[in-house]
Amino acid sequence: MKSKILFILSLLFGLMFINAGLNKFLNYMPMPEDMPESMIKVMVAYTTIVWLMPLVAVVEIVGGILIIIPRFRALAAIMVLPITVGILLTHIFNEPSGLPIALVFFAVNVWLLFECREKYIPMLK
């Protein structure tokens, strides 16, 4: 039962990252009209660094695909951890209304890391 729940969460988590990465390239989801001024400044800063958003998009797409594949889940969980932390910090400091979703994303990422902990042990020795 635990493995089925882990697979379903990994599938949804991976698909969300694939969707977010593709949106950075294709812009098919509109930006909210009522975005706070602080978030607008953050988004302008992100887009000022020309290479940053394409890099994040590629990591999101590749990480999302790899999270779905059980063999590569440990690698993908490490790959998307900085992005998940960035999402969490952005919502803590700039847009608290999205904090519940950011906390769920972070919790899923931490759970995936915990489930793959035996694969990380050789790196720590």
Does residue 19 carry a pLDDT above 90?
yes
pLDDT at 7: 93
> Which residues contact residue 42 at a Cβ distance below 8 angstroms, ignoring those fewer than 6 apart?
90, 94
Q: How confident is the model at residue 31 (pLDDT cuts 50, 70, 90)?
A: confident
Interior angle at CA 78, CA 72 and CA 81, nearest 5: 130
Q: Is 27 left (phi over 0), alpha (psi -120 to 50) or beta?
A: left
Burial of residue 17, with CB atoms counted within 10 A of its CB: 0-12 exposed, 13-18 middle, 19 or more buried: buried
Among residues 104, 100, 106, which one has the least CA distance to residue 80? 106
59-92 pLDDT, tens digit each: 999 999 999 999 999 999 999 999 999 999 999 9
Q: What is the average pLDDT across 45-69? A: 95
